[in-house]
Amino acid sequence: MSHSATIAAAATSAKAAEWRVLELHPSTYRTHSIHAHDRVWTETNCYVDLWIELLHSLGADPTPALAFVLSADCDGRQWDFVKMQSEDLRTLYGIDVGEMNVWRPVLEHVREGFADGVLVTVEVDGFWLPDTAGTSYRNQHTKTTIVPNSVDETEKVLGYFHNRGYFELSGADFDGVFNLAPAAHAEVLLPYVEQIRLGRNLIAGGVEDRDLAVARAHLARRPSANPVEALARKIIADIPLVQTGGPDAFHLWSFGLLRQCGATAELAADLVGYLAGRGVPEIAAAGPHFLQVAQGAKAVQFRMARAARGRAVALDEPLADMAANWSAAMDIVSNAL
């Protein structure tokens, strides 16, 4: 049975108040190797991470869809908030992703999608997500993205993809995520929602040579200047800001600069390893350089954490090494592709 047929059967056979698309449970869920605990960066950002796990759960290899790393840039203020591109998802896997008009309560749209075998991405408040315990859960209101996969409206239980795994929430968290209880708050803005239409997916047939075409397209859009050099200038300029901003401001600052850059570089190492196995063996030499950037970003983050406690830091050398390794890696990729 194809993935699309399996998905439709799972949705339409569910009980009236209980809907499920993929047969998953948090207790038995196994994350993709990209999210292994021994990674330099175990998470990238909520959107990339949930797509890695969703594609993995659909039976697809998410690595070809990481080609966006080759066109990543830094605008001198922050590193790109990299994302899986909808056109890449369509080209590689036959999955259609598009913004949805939200004109009714979000739960109703989720339920209707399940009936059709359609998943959705939903922006929610991390305050209600128990997988973020120790950070935002019941502590602070933060915007993040999930993909609901199962809903039991009677028991108020939601199964969802978020960050690097698959989780469940229930009770008051269910009401909070869907803005339900004790009544909907009129001042809560409608979230950004995307439909994920799986019916024409190509997963069972593999990606053939489409993966190489997608990688080359992103390489053609790469920035003309080294983005790590722009990142380095911004970090050096921001040392006084971090020294006076305190730990909370540091974490927000670091997410948009060092974490996004480091995670992008580590994903780039995954991508070139994959492409080497797809008939471009010479591209594998870029992998160690990308990993050096990922590790360098982590080391600089540790130094900047000391700066957030008011200490002086020296960053010229590690930032220069990061920029040199990024340049070397991209030269190898460019020559190979």
Residue 154, C-beta contacts closer than 8 angstroms, at least 6 positions apart: 17, 18
Token duo for residue 163? 């960050």
- The DSSP secondary-structure symbol of 281 reads G
What is the mean pLDDT of the segment spanning 55-64? Answer: 97
Give 289-321 pLDDT, tens digit per residue.
Answer: 999 999 999 999 999 999 999 899 999 999 999
Mean pLDDT estimate for the chain: 92
Give 250-269 pLDDT, tens digit per residue.
Answer: 999 999 999 999 999 999 99
| 313-324 burial: b if 16+ Cβ within 10 Å, else e | bebeebbebbbb
- Do residues 308 and 250 lie in contact, with contact meaning Cβ atoms separated by under 8 Å? yes
d(CA 220, CA 215): 9
Helix (H, G, I), strand (E, B) or coil at 283: helix
Give 190-230 pLDDT, tens digit per residue.
Answer: 899 999 999 999 999 999 999 999 999 999 999 999 999 99
Q: Phi then psi for 99, rounded to 5 degrees?
A: -60, 145
d(CA 259, CA 44): 7
Note the pLDDT of residue 8: 46
pTM of the entire structure? 0.92
* Banded pLDDT at 54 (limits 50, 70, 90): very high
d(CA 169, CA 127): 12
Name the residue with higher pLDDT: 134 or 160. 160
CA-wise closest residue to 173 among 138, 122, 147, 149? 138
H-helix or E-strand spanning residue 109: helix 106-115
- The DSSP secondary-structure symbol of 180 reads -
d(CA 314, CA 316): 6
Give 148-189 pLDDT, tens digit per residue.
Answer: 999 999 999 999 999 999 999 999 999 999 998 776 676 677
